[in-house]
Structure 1
Amino acid sequence: MWTETTVDGMSWLLNPADQNLPLILADQGFDVWMGNTRGTRFSRRHKYLNPSQRAFWNWTWDELVSYDLPAMFDHIHGLTGQKIHYLGHSLGTLIGFASFSEKGLVDQVRSAAMLSPVAYLSHMTTVIGDIAAKTFLAEATSILGWPEFNPKSGLVGDFIKAICLKAGIDCYDLVSVITGKNCCLNASTIDLFLANEPQSTSTKNMIHLAQTVRDKELRKYNYGSSDRNIKHYGQAIPPAYNISAIPHELPLFFSYGGLDSLADVKDVEFLLDQFKYHDIDKMNVQFVKDYAHADFIMGVTAKDVVYNQVATFFKRQA
């Protein structure tokens, strides 16, 4: 299981035990593993670097695709000897799509369930995200020497406050501001979420996500000049991730919401179009009209609306 850019695996567990997906799956006999994105509190250790060093933050989601997800798969597969049911939310879906498109992990995957799937962000309607991408917030903080992008403190926090002020929005409720108006969160869960999240990521990663919004394409990180891109990739334009290259026989489950400001309906529909040649009996698509982004991981109705369907889907691929 893998989720947001600035959220750790704990976000899956904020609801009571009978309402959160990891424990629901565990109770039904699945061996559940949760990944933590680099930079969040449980993923800040390194063999020889520490978070105070700029080199520690020299990565984007490209590295999650090339190194972190394969390392997690290799570890799990090495211990269990079994193929993996992958479950992603938001960024977790993005790195899953990118990894599977390059076919490096497909042999270890039994199926994949993608909640609030993110790959294209052209129609993102979250005000703070759209303004940040278009005004190069991440690039600005990088230039000013902040390799760690911490939304809750320092220069980054001040930038976010300034953006909220400019947009005339109340950023106290960061959940709604970033994800859209979630239908089904209770107040105590939101308070618990805001007490723990959002957490740090790399500024370079935020630049990469901003590039995805502005460029309307899914490509590797753009180093800003033809010469630098040629140095890294052997070509002037960063290579694209070809999602339609994901094997057509891989069982896939999609669930997306009608009120999601990050995984906008138009972007998800464009994403689904990349699977038009997928084996029809291997594709399962669920549309939840009143769900926004966070409802899929913290919604009080998510067990009945989404999670039971995910568990049933996984069992069918056993």
Structure 2
Amino acid sequence: MLMGFVAFTLSLLLLPFILLHQVHASSHGTNYVTTNVDGICTSSVIIHGYKCQELVVTTKDGYILSLQRIPEGRGEVSGTRTKKQPVILQHGVLVDGMTWLLNPPEEDLPLILADNGFDVWIANTRGTRYSRRHISLDPSNPAFWNWSWDELVAYDLPAVFDYVFKQTSQKIHYVGHSLGTLIALASLSEGKLVKEVKSAALLSPIAYLSHMNTALGVVAAKTFVAEFTTLFGLAEFNPRGLHVHALLHSLCAYPGIDCYDLLTSLTGKNCCLNSSTVDLFLRNEPQSTSTKNLVHLSQTVRDGFLSKFNYVKPSYNYMHYGEVFPPIYNLSNIPHDIPLFISYGGKDALSDVHDVGNLLDSLKFHDVDKLSVQFIKDYAHADYIMGINARDIVYNVVLSFFNQTFDR
């Protein structure tokens, strides 16, 4: 059974920190060990000499999301350049916007973009530490966690795009990593964001996951996540919570599982990480998400195609969708004139080259001059956000892509 496959493997990323530092939290609370006392701006942007604004965006279904804006480069005189091109950065699952800001400032993509004349916006999805608010629900209420990445597609990403578009009156560049690529592709396939997006850079895309073959995959696929979540009624999947903590301990007892080399086991052999950056990552991530979200991702692993959340019982699916099977996200519906940049790595165990091939096949009718593809032989999943050479290998290419003149 592959239900919960992604839940296990991604949450395992934190285990060395849990075992070494014994961080505990209830399944409904949060007890993060973090340098982020007052917010991402204070801890990770302003200290480097950049201006930064902490903002909030409310989705149509009532979630209040944290959003950071870096309006100009370091040392830039305010007002020297008008009508800057906005860029939204969207993180992956079980992390938040901090994940873009773990290296020195000259190596962090948001600050590089700001220094190169872009108006930078960092999104944080529902359930992460600064997006745990709702107009009527509290995180202690299981109803707060009744969502999957369908809702990120339908509500979170459109809310952020609408807000940025209204603030800037400009079409928007987009950078997504991991799950941030999936929700963008799914949104575009349903006609969302189309009028507001200028181009999209998709790093380590995970639109398809059926070939994901991490070292932990075989063991994770045979474990009892579905039974575990049913037994404990976990609406919130908190990797630092006591129930998940106990589950991870039990998984470490499996022969051949090295609980002190989980980053490699999960993501593939990352070529270019600095140990101090990994340590900072483990002090700030991972974040909570909904168990339903991880089950939905696991359905994607199992099924090999993209569809809305499967409630399994035909009557439940019919109640939600008017059909006995959940609707499919057809990526070939993405408008062919939207400029797309896709970068993937040869060592990436999550964004496998075969799955990226399936994605590219879905885009085979895309305008040739609007689709750029980069393959990096030695890169794995985490290199794209924490690699010490990502600026030279990836980010400069993204800058060049954004600086092209696109007629949209």
Query: What's the TM-score bracket when you normalise by the shorter of the two chains?
Result: over 0.9
**How many angstroms does 1:3 deviate by?**
1.4
Deviations 1:238-289 (A, max 9, x none): 0000001101111000000001111011101111111111111111000000
**How many angstroms does 1:143 deviate by?**
4.3
Do residues 111 (structure 1) and 188 (structure 2) align? no
Task: State how far apart, in whole Å, the 2-side matches of 1:143 and 1:133 are.
Answer: 18
Which range moves more in the overlay, 37-46 or 148-157? Answer: 148-157
Distance 1:178 1:106, change over 3 A: same
- Cα-Cα RMSD: 1.4
The percentage of counterpart residues that share the same residue type is: 62
Deviations 1:95-153 (A, max 9, x none): 00000000121110000000000111001012335543554525631442111111233
Asked if 2 retains the 8 angstrom alpha-carbon contact of 1:25 and 1:311, the reply is yes
Number of the residue aligned with 2:313: 225
Which range moves more in the overlay, 136-145 or 231-240? Answer: 136-145
Which range moves more in the overlay, 137-146 or 30-39? Answer: 137-146
Number of the residue aligned with 2:225: 137
The alignment partner of 2:133 has SS state of coil
Q: Gaps spanning 5+ residues in structure 2: where?
A: 1-88
The alignment partner of 2:134 has SS state of coil
The alignment partner of 2:120 has SS state of coil
**How many angstroms does 1:211 deviate by?**
0.6
2:378 to 273, 290, 301: 290
Number of the residue aligned with 2:280: 192
1:181 to 254, 265, 269: 269
Number of the residue aligned with 1:53: 141
Hey, which of these two has a bigger chunk of helix by percent? 1
Distance 1:36 1:314, change over 3 A: same
Task: State how far apart, in whole Å, the 2-side matches of 1:222 and 1:88 are.
Answer: 25
Distance 1:261 1:194, change over 3 A: same
**How many angstroms does 1:49 deviate by?**
1.3
Number of the residue aligned with 2:82: none
Distance 1:182 1:116, change over 3 A: same
Number of the residue aligned with 1:43: 131
Partner AA of 2:157 in structure 1: L
Tell me the TM-score normalised to structure 2 length.
0.75
Whose Rg is larger? 2
Do residues 312 (structure 1) and 400 (structure 2) align? yes
Which range moves more in the overlay, 165-174 or 234-243? Answer: 165-174
Partner AA of 2:264 in structure 1: S
For residues 163-182 of structure 1, what are the structure 2 equivalents within 5 Å? 163-166=251-254, 168-182=256-270
For residues 237-252 of structure 1, what are the structure 2 equivalents within 5 Å? 237-252=325-340
The alignment partner of 2:121 has SS state of coil
Number of the residue aligned with 1:301: 389
**How many angstroms does 1:235 deviate by?**
0.3
Number of the residue aligned with 2:186: 98
Which range moves more in the overlay, 289-298 or 44-53? Answer: 44-53
Number of the residue aligned with 1:273: 361
**How many angstroms does 1:224 deviate by?**
1.6
**How many angstroms does 1:16 deviate by?**
0.6
Number of the residue aligned with 1:127: 215
Distance 1:184 1:65, change over 3 A: same
Tell me the TM-score normalised to structure 1 length.
0.96
Deviations 1:55-91 (A, max 9, x none): 1110000000000100000100010010010110000
2:105 to 17, 30, 36: 17
Task: State how far apart, in whole Å, the 1-side matches of 2:310 and 2:218 are.
Answer: 19
Deviations 1:155-196 (A, max 9, x none): 222223323332522223442232111110010000000111
Number of the residue aligned with 1:146: 234
The alignment partner of 1:122 has SS state of coil
The alignment partner of 1:165 has SS state of coil
Task: State how far apart, in whole Å, the 1-side matches of 2:316 and 2:146 are.
Answer: 15
Which range moves more in the overlay, 11-20 or 42-51? Answer: 42-51
Task: State how far apart, in whole Å, the 2-side matches of 1:134 and 1:190 are.
Answer: 29
**How many angstroms does 1:231 deviate by?**
0.2
Do residues 162 (structure 1) and 257 (structure 2) align? no
Distance 1:269 1:6, change over 3 A: same
Number of the residue aligned with 2:170: 82
Asked if 2 retains the 8 angstrom alpha-carbon contact of 1:133 and 1:211, the reply is no
How many residues in Structure 1 have an aligned counterpart in Structure 2?
A: 318
